[in-house]
Amino acid sequence: MGPARISLPTSINGFSYADISKELGITKASLHYHFPAKAELGRSLIERYCNAFRGALLEIESTDRDPRKKLRRYAGLYAEVLRRDRMCLCGMLAADYSVLPRPMQDAVRAFFDANETWLSSVLEEGRKRKVLRFRGPPREEARLLLGALEGAMLVARSYGDVSRFSSSADRLLQDLSAS
C-alpha cells in the first residue's frame, strides 16, 4: 500500500479545496473541475486507497500459498502504514461514518467488505488445510480479525508505538494457528 500523496484530516469537513490545491500545487478551479463536490473527491480518494490495498492483497496471493503467511503479511500492511506515521484511511473515516456523504459511506463499506471477503477466503482455506483453527464461520472470524487490527492500529498510534500493534497482531495470529 503506497502512501497517499495527501495527508487528509480525520474528518471530511476538516479540509478545504484550498488545502488540497496548495498541497498538490494546482489551482482550486482545476480541482473543482475534476471534483465538483467534496463527496466525489472523497470517494475518489477512498477508491484510490482501496485499489492500492487490493493490489497489496493480490501480491500476497501471488507470492504466498500458506494461509498463515498470508495473514501475517496482511497484518504487516497495517504495521507498515503505522511505521510511516499514517493510519488506515477507511478506519479513520469510519469514525465519522454517519456524517460522511453517501458516496463516501459506500466506498468505506466497500473497503471493509473487500477485506472481509479476502480474509474469509484465507481463513476458510486455512481451516480446510488444518493450519488455522477458529470457532464459527470464516466471515465472523474475518470481521473479528479486521476489527481487532483496526482497533490495535488506533491504540498503537495513540502511544506512538508500532510494537503495541505488532504484539497484538502476533497474538491474534498465534491464536488462529493450529500448530
pLDDT at residue 12 in the model: 58
Q: What are phi and psi of 138, to 5 degrees?
A: -55, -35
pLDDT at residue 7 in the model: 44
Least-confidence region, from 25-34, 137-146, 148-157, 158-167: 25-34
pLDDT at residue 76 in the model: 97
pLDDT at residue 45 greater than cutoff 60: yes
- Helical segments of the chain, H only: 17-24, 28-34, 38-63, 67-83, 89-94, 102-128, 138-159, 162-176
In a domain, 9, yes or no: no
Residue with cell 500492511: 77
Q: Report the C-alpha gap between 73 and 75 in whole angstroms.
A: 5
pLDDT at residue 15 in the model: 63
Tally of domains within the chain: 1
User: Containing domain of residue 72, as a range?
Assistant: 39-176
Nearest to 124 by CA among 73, 176, 72: 176
Q: How many Cα atoms within 13 Å fall on the side-chain side of residue 78?
A: 30
Taking residues 103-116, report their average pLDDT.
Answer: 96
pLDDT at residue 11 greater than cutoff 70: no
CATH code of the domain in which 87 resides: 1.10.357.10
pLDDT-derived band at 153 (thresholds 50, 70, 90) equals: very high
> In terms of C-beta density within 10 A (0-12 exposed, 13-18 middle, 19 or more buried), how is residue 61 classed?
middle
What value does the mean pLDDT of the chain take?
Answer: 89
pLDDT at residue 10 in the model: 46
In a domain, 67, yes or no: yes
pLDDT at residue 9 greater than cutoff 50: no
pLDDT at residue 30 in the model: 82
In a domain, 129, yes or no: yes
**Tens digit of pLDDT for each residue in 65-92?**
999 999 999 999 999 999 999 999 999 9
pLDDT-derived band at 100 (thresholds 50, 70, 90) equals: very high
In a domain, 97, yes or no: yes
In a domain, 2, yes or no: no
In a domain, 19, yes or no: no
Residue with cell 466506498: 107
User: Cell numbers at residue 146, please?
Assistant: 479486521
In a domain, 78, yes or no: yes
Spacing of C-alpha 82 from chain mean position:
11
Percent of the chain with pLDDT over 70: 91
Taking residues 155-172, report their average pLDDT.
Answer: 96
- CB neighbourhood size of 64 (10 A): 16
pLDDT at residue 136 in the model: 96
In a domain, 18, yes or no: no
